[in-house]
Amino acid sequence: MDKLTKFTGGNWVACMNDQSCWVDNGDNGLIADLEMTDIECPDELYANVSLISAAPEMYEEIQIEIEELQEFISTLNHMSGDWLYYSSRLDRKEALLAKARGDL
């Protein structure tokens, strides 16, 4: 990764029991913990925990796409004006990862 990430790396796993949902990383322990009292609907609670647990993988996929877009834009820059469209896509993805890192 080109920027320093401030979050715990590794594979995050969504877990659930009768009282709570949590995100766990086998090596580093608890990442996030949500009690059933936080949200009345267990399905919504589990969906939130599932989304949180997917964050590292989503971050990595976006980072890969940024690198591919950078290379593609560099090639397009010499061939056509279409690079502006892809440049705005790149800017949005870079801003999203900056937000995920807590840079914004």
Per-residue pLDDT of the chain (104 residues; tens, 9 = 90+): 445 567 777 788 888 887 788 888 877 688 888 876 656 677 788 788 888 889 999 999 999 999 988 888 887 766 766 767 778 888 888 998 888 877 75
Residue 40 is predicted with a pLDDT of 65
- In the chain the first and final C-alpha atoms are separated, in Å, by 18
Residue 63 is predicted with a pLDDT of 92
Residue 62 is predicted with a pLDDT of 92
Cβ-based neighbours of 62, under 8 Å, separated by 6 or more: 93, 96, 97
- Residue that has been written with the tokens 């009768």 in this structure: 18
